[in-house]
Amino acid sequence: MPESPTRVLVPAERIQARIRELGAAIDKDYPNGVLLVAILKGACFFLVDLARAITRPVRIDFIGISSYGKGKTSSGEVKLTKDLDTAIDGLDVLIVEDIVDSGITLSYLVGVLEQRRPSSLRIVALLDKPDRRLRPVDVAYVGFRIPDEFVVGYGLDYAEMYRNLADICVLEVPPGPVLG
Ligand code: IMP
Ligand code: MG
């Protein structure tokens, strides 16, 4: 068997405990409920657990944005690949993201959604790598601040792999060249 390419950074139990805390904070701040907008695909795992940790009325929607190629570095290009199904004017909207890295994705998305005049627009991110920031982003709720390492699991991928790991792990042994 080859050595595992991953090392656990945040174990599943800690992720779930932190999500319960985030849910309680969101309950307090949004007594009338909130629309959760998850960024495909990585944030879907977080969205599902977060939605269940909130007791106020929750609606969910999804938006697709691509800013990364198949590897570990940003292409710097951002485009909308799937729009919301919901009209958000007058709604309290919370963007749900897996990780904030350069901030390019979120600063683009906030710009796009602000134009639609939501009643409020904030961000909840499970992970934050503040050392990597290129664009300032105001993240209202952060699960964990982590060092500048490439992580996979709990929705996060490397070349579409590892999303199904229950823990958040550092990818230690970079896989060979990505095929296809
Ligand atoms: P940003 O636009 O540079 O902030 O990138 C945000 C997106 O890049 C996230 O939604 C992830 O999809 C991806 N990303 C950034 N860092 C990592 C990482 O360490 N592992 C996996 N994906 C990452
Ligand atoms: Mg993402």
Domain residue ranges of the chain, discontinuous segments joined by +: 12-151
β-sheet bridge partners, residue 80 = 65
Coil vs helix vs strand at 25: helix
For residue 54, which of 20, 86, 95, 88 has the smallest C-alpha distance? 20
- The DSSP output letter for 178 is P
Round to whole Å and give the CA distance between 132 and 37: 24
Q: What is the pLDDT of residues 102-150, one digit of tens each?
A: 999 999 999 999 999 999 999 999 999 999 999 999 999 999 999 999 9
Which ligand 1 atom is nearest residue 157's CA?
A: 21
The share of the chain scoring above pLDDT 90, in percent, equals 84
Report CA(33)–ligand 2 centroid distance (Å): 24
Tell me whether residue 29 is one of the annotated catalytic residues: no
Round to whole Å and give the CA distance between 149 and 169: 10
Round to whole Å and give the CA distance between 156 and 98: 7
Helix or strand run (H / E) with residue 162: none
Task: Answer whether 146 contacts ligand 1 (Cβ < 6 A).
Answer: no
- The predicted pLDDT at position 97 comes to 98
Q: pTM to 2 decimals? A: 0.92
Task: Answer whether 153 contacts ligand 1 (Cβ < 6 A).
Answer: no
Q: Which residue has the CA at smallest separation from atom 5 of ligand 1?
A: 101
Domain 12-151 has CATH 3.40.50.1820: no
Round to whole Å and give the CA distance between 17 and 63: 26
Q: Which residue has the CA at smallest separation from atom 22 of ligand 1?
A: 156
Which ligand 1 atom is nearest residue 105's CA?
A: 2
Task: Answer whether 42 contacts ligand 1 (Cβ < 6 A).
Answer: yes
Round to whole Å and give the CA distance between 135 and 105: 9
